Structure 1
Amino acid sequence: MRLSTVILPVRAWRQGGRDEWLRAEQLGFHAAYTYDHLSWRTFRDGPWYGAVPTLTAAAAATERLRLGTLVTSPNFRHPVTLAKDLISLDDVSGGRITLGIGAGGTGFDATAMGQEAWTPRERAERFAEFVPLLDRLLTEDSVTYEGTFYSAVEARNIPGCVQRPRLPFAVAATGPRGLRLAAEHGQSWVTTGDPKLFETGTPEESREAIRGQMAKLAKACADVGREASAIDKILLTGFTPDRDRPLRSLDAFVDFAGRHFELGFDEIVVHSPIPDSDFAADQAVFEQIATEGLAQLGG
């Protein structure tokens, strides 16, 4: 069992940003992730920094903490340039990068570069092309590819990743095509639960929906000849009906995490508190959970 955190890129590096990543390492989190967006929801009109430069700075400032995106999407990324950034990040960090990757959505990222927001079908089709191409770019010295949405012409990526054969992918998916990609290319699978239950569902309904997602992942793995146990399962908290429960108290976290570990999760991810936001929480409780939560669970 692992406990990790998400640090949203809303603090300037010299005004608390650096300290937050260092504190995550000091508290003993397995990993610290950040969102890869151009802007996001209620934070749109405030500070929001880029994921790759932030992770590069965090890699230089920390020593043991795993780092990564949760998640990157094709909305404003291209596999060729993203691969070069990831190889550089893996080098700076000494092999501590995980790429969380998903199909993207209809938020601000979807139109910021002047395009129309893609339909769910087009997002799925782009994702199905994006992930295998990125896999090749991170494992082969030179890649040429001509696809429907993405191309590469003798794209060079020497010397490749520090982690071999490449850095791990944590694939966020709930639909059949995404789960197939997780089964084929993922070292981990990420879920936030069932978004349809966020407003009106119950915690019990949420866990049952997640159980169903895991069954679909297992089937996708079986279809490609892979054991589902070979893929780590990651829960990004904050988007289930009991979204604020994990950070209410140590006891509340232990209850929430225990119920989800029973479903088969290997890693629970909680948000680092941000005052006056949807992620507001008591910093002292957050730190107590970081230092005592897994011990209370027996992990």
Structure 2
Amino acid sequence: MRLSTVILPIHRWAEGQKIWRQAEDLGFHAAYAYDHLSWRSFRDGPWFGAIPTLTAAATVTRRMRLGTLVTSPNFRHPVTLAKELISLDDISGGRLTLGIGAGGTGFDATALGQEPWPPRERADRLAEFVPLLDRLLTEDSVSYEGDFYSAHEARNIPGCVQRPRLPFAVAATGPRGLRLAARYGQAWVTTGDPRLFENGTPEQSVQALRGQVEKLGAACEATGRAVSALDKILLTGFTPDRGRPLESLDAFVDFAGRHQELGFTEIVIHWPIPDSDFAADEKVFERIALEAPAQLA
């Protein structure tokens, strides 16, 4: 079981770089940034771009993997994104993972002046976005004309440091997204069942996640791929447990162990932010980072 963290891009770099260095010092497998233009209760405060933040983080860390959790088509285009990802993969020395999903109806969905896309269109766009991005990251020159995205002799030389390309972690719970994860993903990401967040129980959440893992297995089987070939990532903080797993080392080990039994290979916890939904005792957080992986080995 790997333990990773999400560091929200809310800090000016003079302060933010200290957090990214500390995350590596604590031994986290990876540190991710949300790829949004703004997000929920943080909308009216500082919020920096994910790709520049990860680029800066790549220069102050050496071992820890870096990534987005997650990027979406809401304000990204495959051609320009591919160029940025190849550059970041090079700067990080091949430590980049792209978390990618369909996005939602939050602030990103309207920031460019468009109306929010309905769920079907978000799924349609992701189904076109991911295969095109796969080509852009593995081929020297790509031309493509689709329903939503186009590319004309888009050059991406020399390509990724990681071969054949940097890994995709596809966030999905529906059948179309799971098929994308099965075909193109090196990992799969979930936050659980959002319908259970307010009134569900931890036991119901575990059952829902078990069902998601089973559906992922079926999608992999349909593509002729073993589900064991994909890492399975749980982004915490959005299940009925909320922040309780971070209340103590024992509470976290119990939480992570129950999800490890479902087949999850990586648990992601939010770096503590005082006076927010992600508030946590920093000393407990550090102890979890330092001691939990060995207990879950």
Secondary structure of 1:37's match?
coil
TM-score w.r.t. the length of structure 1 is 0.99
The residue aligned with 2:10 is 10
- The residue number in structure 1 matching 2:165 is 166
Deviations 1:95-122 (A, max 9, x none): 0000000000000000000000000000
Q: How many residues align?
A: 297
Match of 1:244 in 2: 243
Residue 41 (structure 1) aligned with residue 33 (structure 2): no
* CA deviation map 1:271-293 (0-9, x unaligned): 00001111000010110000001
| Pairs within 5 Å for 1:169-184 | 169-184=168-183
Distance (Å, rounded) in 2 between the aligned partners of 1:231 and 1:249: 30
Shift of 1:294: 1.5
1:35-73 CA distance string (max 9 Å, x none): 000000000000000000000000011100100000000
Once residues 210 and 12 of structure 2 are traced to their aligned partners in structure 1, the CA distance between those partners, rounded to angstroms, is 39
Instruction: Report the equivalent of 1:272.
Output: 271
Aligned-residue identity in percent: 79
What is the aligned partner in structure 1 of residue 87 from structure 2? 88
Query: Match of 1:170, SS?
Result: strand
Paired position in structure 2 for 1:192: 191
Q: Is the 8 A contact 1:245 1:256 kept in 2?
A: no
Alpha-carbon distance, 1:296 to partner: 2.3
TM-score by length of 2: 0.99
Aligned-partner SS, 1:17: helix
Whole-Å separation in 1 of the counterparts to 2:295 and 2:242: 21
> Structure 1, unaligned stretches of length 5 or more?
none
Q: Is the 8 A contact 1:130 1:150 kept in 2?
A: yes
SS at match of 2:262: coil
Aligned equivalents of 1:9, 1:198: Cα separation in 2: 24
1:201 counterpart SS class: coil
- Superposed structure 1 runs of 4+ greater than 2 Å apart: none
Cα RMSD over matched residues? 0.5
Q: Does residue 1:67 correspond to 2:31, yes or no?
A: no
Runs of at least 5 residues in structure 2 that lack an aligned partner in the other structure: none
Q: Partner amino acid for 2:229?
A: A
1:206-255: CA deviations, max 9, x gaps?
A: 00000000111011101111011111100000000001122111011011
